[in-house]
Structures are given as structure tokens and as C-alpha cells.
Amino acid sequence: MNISLVGRHVELTEPIKEHLNSSIKTLQKFQLDIISVSAVASSQERKGKRGFSIEFTINLAAKNTVVIKQRDDDLYAAIDIAIDRARKALRRLHDRSVEHYKAGINEAKSERISPSDITAVSEEQEDEIIPVELPLYKPIEVAEALEYLKEGNKQFEVFIDPDGKTRVLFKRNDGRFGLY
């Protein structure tokens, strides 16, 4: 990996160069083929305020070039924020290349399941369904539902009355019972 450090209107001192080099070396952990990294630090003055900007250009083999620009009042802060953004971009590229494996047509054909295997698998997955009549669907009288409600800790009881209507018997706040 080639590293190029340039300062425009800024003198790059040894501590700044060491900070830049150590920060750039951390980008190698993503196992991407980084050809070169160019860092351009510049000083700008806007509206009487002096600020620094840093621009990283990261050239990757067989991929697009990643360009990160960051501006801040402090050069070290601008470098740290830009490196964090570069790490995030490279992590995304790395995750895409690792997780999105594209199988070729020949591999897909070789893994294809024969029709006899499909019928065998579907027969194994078939379950025997036995209809069971639940007590919830048996018609009950309102008095019987009231007894169930008094016996349990429930707030309401849903049941079907002898006329076939779905009814709800519930406890009211005043201690009495209501019926829908």
C-alpha cells in the first residue's frame, strides 16, 4: 500500500505524519486490496475563522475509489472523524464482498434437487390432521359462563350461546357483570 501525505497551507509536522500513518494503517484490517491512500491536509479561512480539512482518497483494486472529505477546527479531530468514516465505508465494502456470494449457473445446476427427492421430502412433511372439537365452540348457557368467570381469575369469558351467537361476559369495575 502506497501512502501519500500532502499539506496545503499547512506544515505537516512529524507528530501529524505519525498520526496520519498510524490511522491509515488501521484500514488494512478489512482485507481489501488497497493500492494507495492519498491524504491531503489543508488550511482554510472562512469568515475570519481558521479551519482544517482533510481529504482521503483510497484506491482499491477491482473496486471504486473511496473519497472522504472532512472539515473541522482541529486538524487531529478532522483526521479522526475522516478515518472513522473511511473505516465505515471499507467495512461496508468488505461485508458486501463476504456476505454476497454469487453462485454460478453450474453450481446451481449441480445442487438442484431431482423431482423424486422433492416428492419424498413433501411426503415426509405431511402430517395427519385429526379434527378435535374444542370446548370453546360448544354452546353454553349464560349462567354456566358466569360460573366459569366467577371460578377463575379472568376478566372476561368468550362463549357461544345456544342460539349460535358469540357472546362476551365480563366483570365490571363496580363488581357486577356485563354481557355483550
Per-residue pLDDT tens over the stretch 79-124: 999 999 999 999 988 888 776 666 566 665 666 656 666 666 666 6
Percent of the chain with pLDDT over 70: 78
- Contact status, residue 54 vs residue 70, Cβ threshold 8 Å: yes
Domain spans in the chain, listed from the N-terminal domain onward: 2-99, 135-179
pLDDT band for position 44 (cuts 50, 70, 90): confident
Q: What is the pLDDT of residue 85?
A: 95
- 2-99 and 135-179: identical CATH topology: no
Q: Cell 354481557 maps to which residue?
A: 179
Residue 4, pLDDT > 90, answer yes
12 vs 142: CA distance, rounded Å: 89
Q: What is the pLDDT of residue 38?
A: 95
Please give the grid coordinates belonging to residue 102.
454469487
pLDDT band for position 32 (cuts 50, 70, 90): confident
* Residue 142 burial class via C-beta count within 10 angstroms: exposed 0-12, middle 13-18, buried 19 and up: middle
Task: Specify the fold of 135-179.
Answer: SHC Adaptor Protein (3.30.505)
Residue 125, pLDDT > 70, answer no
pLDDT band for position 7 (cuts 50, 70, 90): very high
CATH architecture of 2-99: 2-Layer Sandwich (3.30)
Residue 178, pLDDT > 60, answer yes
Q: Cell 453450481 maps to which residue?
A: 107
